[in-house]
Structure 1
Amino acid sequence: MICHCNVETICKTAKDPSFCSTFLKSRPAGVGRDLVSLAQYSIENVHTNVTNTVDLITKLVAQSRDMNEKSHYGNCLQHFNSIVEYVKEAEGFLKIGDYEDVHMNANFIIINVDDCLFGDSPSDPPFHDTSMLPKYADVVQKIAEIIFIISNLLKQ
């Protein structure tokens, strides 16, 4: 399905419609307005953001002074290494038109970002993170949500 859905249609269900709208409207002129092109643009962008986040976490692990910090960042690194794979898979699935699996991988990205930030279990004590990681992770999660929404529209 190649629809020229407008940005408002895509972003109205996002948790942060303003971010979604700004993100999709900031795409380069060469990026088409159809859903597949917007999904590809979003996947490429999330890939860059995930790479930058992995680089940041790697530095944070190296700089960690106490065990709680080291454990938190080590856990996040595991989750973001998984996210790297989910992004690659989503890209491959998009290329072959398997929108259901693009959708599933976008959901896995969102879940793994949550698990990084808030722990794998509700009983995990919250980690007060004053680094840039929560901001980086938030951007990854918001772009993954855009991929999730677009892939949902594609699979209809």
Structure 2
Amino acid sequence: MGAYLRNNVFMFSLMFFAMIGLLNAQVADIKAICGKAKNQSFCTNYMKFNPKTSGADLPTLAKMTFDSAQTSASGALTNIQSLAKKETNPALKKGYTSCEEQYKNSVSNLNEAKQNLASRDGPGLNIKVSAAMEGATTCQDSFANLKADPSVAKNNSDFQNICGIVLVISNMM
């Protein structure tokens, strides 16, 4: 009888604390987040077309958006590496190679930012994601007087916009 009672008290306590945790998890205010984003229309579309964002709390939304930023950086890096291998114009090849290095740094900064995200360190996350964004800016600058593949500019823009959302969320953490 004592073991049964002890198990029931344990289960009740576990359910009680789980319910408190659920009550404390507030749905993230997507309109407020996108209202502060540098590219508000990109943010709104990003949130609208990702069904998992609806009803997500701030930490969950931060993780989802951060994961998208990492995917975007990795995709941009792969694309740039492919373009660099095929390029025969020395000036463009140099631009792609420079861009490749910048995205490697961006990926590295995002990998470091994972710890900040996991510990909900908003300011630390902000610093590392901002550093990662610099890679896309410097990459774009590599092609100031050159005609690079249009996918590079699109990838840079998407990456910066996604990171911009992460920055807004990091400021709310």
Aligned equivalent of 1:12: 35
Question: What SS class does the counterpart of residue 132 from structure 1 fall into?
Answer: helix
1:31–1:38 contact (8 Å) kept in structure 2:
no
How many angstroms does 1:30 deviate by?
7.8
Q: Distance in 2 between matches of 1:107 and 1:65?
A: 33
The structure with more radius of gyration: 2
Shift of the 129–30 alpha-carbon distance from structure 1 to 2, 3 Å rule, reads closer
In terms of fraction of residues, the more helix-rich structure is 2
1:106–1:144 contact (8 Å) kept in structure 2:
yes
Shift of the 147–134 alpha-carbon distance from structure 1 to 2, 3 Å rule, reads same
Of the structure 1 ranges 64-73 and 18-27, higher mean CA displacement relative to structure 2 is found in: 18-27
Q: Distance in 2 between matches of 1:118 and 1:2?
A: 42
TM-score (normalizing by structure 2): 0.78
Aligned equivalent of 1:143: 162
Q: Distance in 2 between matches of 1:126 and 1:13?
A: 32
Structure 1: state its 5+ residue gaps: none
Q: Distance in 1 between matches of 2:55 and 2:110?
A: 21
Shift of the 2–149 alpha-carbon distance from structure 1 to 2, 3 Å rule, reads farther
Structure 2: state its 5+ residue gaps: 1-23
Q: Distance in 2 between matches of 1:105 and 1:55?
A: 21
| Root-mean-square deviation (Å) | 2.1
TM-score (normalizing by structure 1): 0.86
Shift of the 107–2 alpha-carbon distance from structure 1 to 2, 3 Å rule, reads farther
1:27–1:41 contact (8 Å) kept in structure 2:
no
2:28–2:55 contact (8 Å) kept in structure 1:
no
Aligned equivalent of 1:62: 85
How many angstroms does 1:41 deviate by?
0.3
Question: What SS class does the counterpart of residue 29 from structure 1 fall into?
Answer: helix
Aligned equivalent of 2:108: 85
Q: Distance in 2 between matches of 1:26 and 1:91?
A: 24
2:28–2:61 contact (8 Å) kept in structure 1:
no
